[in-house]
Amino acid sequence: MAKIMIQGTASSVGKSILVAALCRIFKQDGYKVCPYKSQNMSLNSYITLDGKEMGRAQVLQAYAAGLQPEAYMNPILLKPTGDKKCQVIVKGKVYSNSSAMEYHNLKIEFKDMLKKDFEELEKKFDIIVIEGAGSPAEINLRDRDIVNMGLAELVDAHVLLVGDIDKGGVFASLAGTMLLLQEEEKKRVKGTIINKFRGDVEILKPGLTMIEDIIKIPTIGVVPYFRLNLEDEDGAVEFNKKVTAPIDIAVIKLPHISNFTDLDALSIEEDVSIRFIEKPEEFGNPDLLIIPGSKNTIEDLMALRNNGLEGLIKEYSKDNMLIGICGGYQMLGKILQDTYGVETDLKEIEGMNLLDVETVFEEEKVTTRVEAECKLFNKKAYGYEIHMGICTYGENAEPLFIIKDKNGEAVNYADGAVNKKGNVMGTYIHGVFDGIEFREYIVNLLREKKELPLKKSRTYESLRESELDKLADLVRNSLDMDKIYEIINQK
């Protein structure tokens, strides 16, 4: 069974997007290919068709491979809940809430599971493209590594090492990484890739020759810096602060912001600008304000209260459109109760009182794929739910959506809420803007208010497919694919 592993000299060097590119290239070349990342740390997650949770980066890679995303592509997902704690998701379900040290000790337990499950994958696919995490030179973690060289050894994979030249110091980072690897680990590295290059590659070539001589490993290619309409990995996201188009959509950048990929579909509208607000002085006068998801809703609500943004949000909501998604929706309500200490030791906190709903955090997480109808606008939407809270309605709130399909089964229940005026809305549906109907309606309301021409929205999925093909073409032309196939087939 063929496999190749992409490791990086650091986080955010472009491992995720290069894995997606290779998955699409191998698919184009006629192979049955699968992405794999044993352990991902991310606040952007996704719910599969069977109701399991996985990292968003492997979702994009799955689409690149022509597959439906499934949790086996990312068997361990870590979702930080604070500086030293995280929720551990194993095979798509919550396994524990652990401190950094507790999880470090847990990793030993997962090795046999990872090896066994990977061997089953090898029976199903022609090529597996594996993504590492952070850097393989994190020498303090080597003895319990299950995501970089520890995994490469576990599944016997050859490695391509990626360095980011845009940050500077790429040759030092490649040489330094190799210096810190053990001798057996060095033998696994079969080539290097320089990523995010801007300029004339002829000027770079002497450096490529020198680094090859220093580390005794060939350069497989130089990938130019590019921008495509594809979601970034968590650490690589640039939270834009400026208005760059006629329609100004502002998003509150919460301290524990999660699933900010919910905004990706809005960003493909040509006359829409997405910017992020952290401080009151950045608020401005947006056409739409969005409060996104959070991995710690109560602490993030307290942060908005303490830094003055809550007051601006409440004032803004009197005459403008405000949408809360998941944790953002919960913040808009009257009360948030955390009886079981799911998020914090604080048992109850007052919300913003902009929607007549109350939230109680339950111990069991809701993870579902849904299709819905918007009662207010008579428009359809789809997406997925990932939340611990359950909302109840007061007399001054109406459901925003009626869920019609849950994980492939016909249902009929309420989701979200809207105020009597119809300008403040909340929903638990992540990806609510991915479908054309709801997104087009909301954006056209904004266009109408600004006396801009109304437009038809583009299908997000078809745009993603064309962008993945562009990515594959760019990377194929930048790398020595013959050499990569040679490496894959080496014993």
The answer to whether the CB of 297 falls within 8 A of the CB of 389 is yes
Catalytic member of 326, 374, 387, 391 = 326
Alpha helices in 125-200 (DSSP H): 149-155, 170-180, 183-188
* Residue 293, Cβ density class (10 Å: 0-12 exposed, 13-18 middle, ≥19 buried): buried
Strand pairing of 45-47 and 53-55?
A: antiparallel
430 is catalytic: yes
Structural tokens at position 433: 């803007």
What whole-number distance in Å separates Cα of residue 261 and Cα of residue 426? Answer: 17
**Neighbour count for residue 288 (Cβ, 10 Å):** 22
**Neighbour count for residue 125 (Cβ, 10 Å):** 20
What whole-number distance in Å separates Cα of residue 44 and Cα of residue 56? Answer: 6
* Beta strand spans in 165-229 (E): 189-197, 219-224
Nearest to 414 by CA among 376, 360, 361, 363: 376
Structural tokens at position 341: 């200490």
Dihedral of alpha carbons 352, 355, 358, 359, sign: negative
Element of type H or E holding 164 = strand 159-164
Dihedral of alpha carbons 454, 460, 461, 463, sign: positive
Q: What separation in angstroms does the CA of 265 have from each of 159, 240, 273, 440?
A: 34, 16, 12, 10
Nearest to 204 by CA among 216, 221, 189: 221
What whole-number distance in Å separates Cα of residue 189 and Cα of residue 309? Answer: 49
What whole-number distance in Å separates Cα of residue 245 and Cα of residue 249? Answer: 9
Enumerate long-range contacts of 394-398, CB under 8 Å, 24 or more apart.
394/334, 394/356, 394/357, 394/358, 395/356, 396/356, 396/420, 397/355, 397/356, 397/357
HSE-CB of 425 using CA atoms within 13 angstroms: 22
387 is catalytic: no
Catalytic member of 158, 256, 387, 430 = 430
Active site residues per annotation: 326, 430
